[in-house]
Structure 1
Amino acid sequence: MQLTEICLMLSIGFMVVISLFDNTQQSILDHKKSLIQAYAEGMLIIWLPVIFLLVHLVYSPLTLVSIGLKWNDSWQFLTSLGLLILVIFYFILSSLSLVKDEASQASLAKQITPLAWFMPKTKSQLAIFTLGLSVSAGICEELIFRGYLLHALTEHVGLSFAVLISSALFGLCHLYQGLDHVIRTFIIGLVLCGVYWFSQSLLMAIILHIAVDIYGGMTSYIVRHKMSKPCLKT
Structure 2
Amino acid sequence: MRFLLVEDNAELADAVVQRLGLDGHAVDHAATLAGAEDCLAVAEYDLILLDVMLPDGDGRDFLARKRDHLETPVIVLTARSQISDRVGALDQGADDYITKPFDFSELEARCRAVLRRRGGVARNEIPLGQAIFEPNAGTLTCGDETLELRNREIRLLEVFARNPGQILSKSQLLDRLFSQDADVTENAIEVYVGRLRKKLDGAGVRIETVRGLGYRMSA
- TM-score normalized by structure 2? 0.25
Larger strand fraction of residues? 2
Kindly indicate which of the two structures has a greater share of residues assigned to helix: 1
